[in-house]
A and B are shown apart, each in its own frame.
Chain A
Amino acid sequence: MHALLFWIFAAVAIVASLLVVGQRNPMHSVLLLIGSFGALSGLYVLLGAPFVAAIQIIIYAGAIMVLFLFVVMLLNAASEDPVTGYHARLIGGAGPRRLGAVLSLGLAIELFWALRNLQTAPLASGDQQPPATAVYDIGLRLFQNYAFAFEATSVLILVAMVGAIILARRERA
C-alpha cells in the first residue's frame, strides 16, 4: 500500500513539475506547483515526517504560493512572449537556449550516473504513525542546538519583509 502510494505521489510530483516548467500561462504554473507540493507533502508523510509535511503545506502551498498568485494577478502576466523562429528551437536554436538545453541534459545524466550504483535496503515506510515525540525531538533540537540559526532566520525574514516592501513601493513622484 505504501509502495503504491509512493509511486503515485512520485508520478504526480514529476508530471506536475514538468507541466510547471512547460506551461505558457503562469497562473496555471502556480496551480500545478501547488499540486506538486501536495504530492511532496504526501511523500513526507510516507517518510514518517508529518511535521515537515504539515509545514510544507502551511508555508509553501499556503503562503508562498499565495504570494506568487497575488503577484501574477497584480502584473496580469498572461503569458510570455511567444518565442518563434531560430531562437525557439531547443536543439538547433540560438545560443542561450541551446546551451541551456545541453546543460540541463548534462545535469540529468550526471545525476543519474552518480545515483546509479547505490544499493540500499528498503526504507521502513511509516506503517505505524510515528511517535508523537518526533515533533518534541524537532522542537528540542531546534531550540537547543540550532537556536542561533533560528534567531538568525527570523532576522532574515524581517529583513526580507522590509526589503520587499521598499522594493515594490511605488515611486513617490
Chain B
Amino acid sequence: MLNPDSVGRTFEGAESVKVSQSEIDAFCAVLSENDTTVAPPTFSIRITLDQSQEILSNPEIGLDWSRVVHGDQRFVIKRPIVAGDSFKCSSTIESYKVAAGNEIVTVRSDLHSDNQLVVSTWSTLVVRA
C-alpha cells in the first residue's frame, strides 16, 4: 500500500535526461513517422514513466510496481521535444484512492528544459488487488 503521507509530495529527478536524435528516430520508426525533426506527442513517456517507477517503488512510498497497470494518460505539450533537450523532471503524487481493493494513483510530471516547461504529463496507475 502507498504511504498516504506521500500524496502531494513532489520529487525532483536527480539528474537531467538528455534527448538524442537516435531516440527520437527509434520512436518515430515504430510509428512509421517520417518527420524526425520533432518527437511524436507521446515521446515524453519514455522519460516520465521511468521517473514515476523510481519514485513510487521507493520503500518509503511503498507502491508495488510489479502489479501496476496503466489506467489513463494525459499530455499537455507547450512545444514539441527536440534532440538536444535536456530535461529536469519533477513528479508530484497528485491523488491516491483505493477502490474495490485496487490502489489508484495519479502522478503529474513536469519536464523543464532550460528552465522552460515543455511538457506536463498525468499518469494514472492502478495497482491491481
Is B one of A's binding partners? no
Chain A interface (Cβ within 8 Å of chain B)? none
